[in-house]
Amino acid sequence: MSSAPQFTVPNDASRLPVTLRTIEDKHHRAEPLVMVTAYDFPSARAAEAAGVDMVLVGDSGAMTVLGYPSTVPVETDELMVLAKAVRRGINTPFLVADLPFGSYEQSDAQAIGTAVRFVKEAGADAVKLERGNDTSVARARAIVQAGIPVVGHIGLTPQTATALGGYRAQGKSAAAAAGLVQEALALQDAGCFCIVLEAIPAAVTEEIVARLEVPTIGIGAGPATAGQVLVFHDMLGIREGRGAKFVQRYADIQPEMNAGIAAYAADVREHRYPAPEHTYSIDEETLSAFRAQL
Ligand code: KIV
């Protein structure tokens, strides 16, 4: 493997780091906000090169890169490793780190402690937590009061998908839709500067957005949100299966990865790799001296 960097990143000095102010300004100008997840250095470099506004070290990394069956088992220390790698890969996007399930629910002190770790150790600009119930609203308020920006997340909240009856759209009854409006308002009141809306009917999203001052980022929530987020592996096809209905595929990389490794395996087995151009040489004199020592 070459030690030279393999990434093409625009060296655009006019690209300043995205701040809370940038996000607010874009929202007021109705300029769409672009967020993507990233979990390691190469995905972070790709997000940087593409010039996205925000990068989320989602706990979806539990599934996309760590192979867990859901986001529930992932530990703070595991997500911390991913967040640190992403931090090393981005200069300009605003970096949001997910608080894993079980790392913030127990008390305000627990929530602040975990959020502080993501900011101090991983260099996150903000943290995200799931749900808009009393507990999450209280934790969001406590973290904001500790000086850390917080993103809320309502609708389909994968950390509690079991309690929601599975990975399915939320807010489909009048009462559930009204509940989402209340949750969004409560998170805004707690100080969240932004709220992710996941898997919510587009018309319900419109009503939520109309009642909020802070920007919303949608994933499967229709076009009314201030921005959109997609999971890196879903949008680039680095996965088996198609994923959720709302995923738009922008590349199909998994088959290319499989084919690349299969071609490498075939080359090794057929003695085509390594070829002379992959091989280091040694001058004859040194070689003779070396052999004489054996
Ligand atoms: O973990 C994640 O990737 C997320 C996004 C789907 C918003 O929370």
Q: Which atom of ligand 1 approaches the CA of 59 most closely?
A: 1
Output the residue whose Cα is nearest ligand 1's atom 5: 58
* Per-residue model confidence (pLDDT) at position 1: 43
Whose Cα sits closest to atom 3 in ligand 1?
Answer: 58
Catalytic (active-site) positions: 198
The rounded mean pLDDT for the chain is 95
Mean pLDDT of all residues in 280-286:
97
Record the tokens describing residue 84, joined without a space.
Answer: 């640190």
* Residue 147, token pair as written in the block: 């000086």
pLDDT at site 243: 84
Q: Does residue 159 line the site of ligand 1, with CB under 6 A?
A: no
Q: Could you tell me if the CB of 231 is within 6 A of ligand 1? A: yes
Verify whether ligand 1 is closer than 6 Å to residue 129 (CB atom): no
Counting residues of the chain whose pLDDT is more than 90, the rounded percentage is 91
Ligand 1 in reach of 157 Cβ (< 6 A):
no
Report the candidate in 198, 187, 207 with the shortest Cα–Cα distance to residue 155.
198
Instruction: Report the nearest atom of ligand 1 relative to the CA of 58.
Output: 1
CB of residue 234 inside a 6 A radius of ligand 1: no
Probe target for ligand 1 pocket from 101, 127, 198, 216, with the most ligand atoms within 8 Å of CB: 198
Token representation of residue 125: 């600009």
Phi-psi region of 79 (alpha: psi -120 to 50; beta: other; left: phi over 0): alpha
Find the 239 Cα to ligand 1 centroid distance in Å: 16
52: Cβ below 6 Å to ligand 1?
Answer: no
pLDDT of 166 reads 87
95 close to 126: Cβ distance less than 8 angstroms: yes
Interval between CA 250 and ligand 1 midpoint (Å): 18
pLDDT at 240: 85
Rg for the chain, CA atoms, rounded: 23
Whose Cα sits closest to atom 8 in ligand 1? 58
pLDDT the model gives residue 180: 98
Mean pLDDT within 198-206: 98
Does residue 214 carry a pLDDT above 60? Answer: yes
Q: Which atom of ligand 1 is nearest to the CA of 35?
A: 7
The full set of domains in the chain, from first to last, is: 20-251 (3.20.20.60), 256-292 (no CATH)
pLDDT tens digits, one per residue of 143-193: 999 999 999 999 999 999 988 988 999 999 999 999 999 999 999 999 999
Better-scored residue on pLDDT, 61 or 11? 61
Which pairs with CB-CB distance under 8 Å and at least 24 residues apart come from 250-257?
none
Residue 180 parent element (H or E): helix 174-190
CA distances (Å), 203 to each of 57, 82, 173, 222, 223, in order? Answer: 28, 35, 12, 8, 10
Assess whether the C-beta atom of 82 lies below 6 angstroms from ligand 1: no
What pLDDT is attached to residue 41?
98
Residue nearest atom 2 of ligand 1, based on CA coordinates: 58
**Entry pTM:** 0.93
Q: Is residue 139 over pLDDT 90?
A: yes
Q: Is the pLDDT of residue 14 over 80?
A: no
Ligand 1, pocket-test mutation among 66, 79, 231, most atoms within 8 A of CB: 231
CB 205 within 8 A of CB 222: yes
Mean pLDDT of 91-115: 98
Q: Is the CB of 60 under 6 A from ligand 1?
A: yes
Q: Tell whether ligand 1 has an atom less than 6 A from the beta carbon of residue 130.
A: no
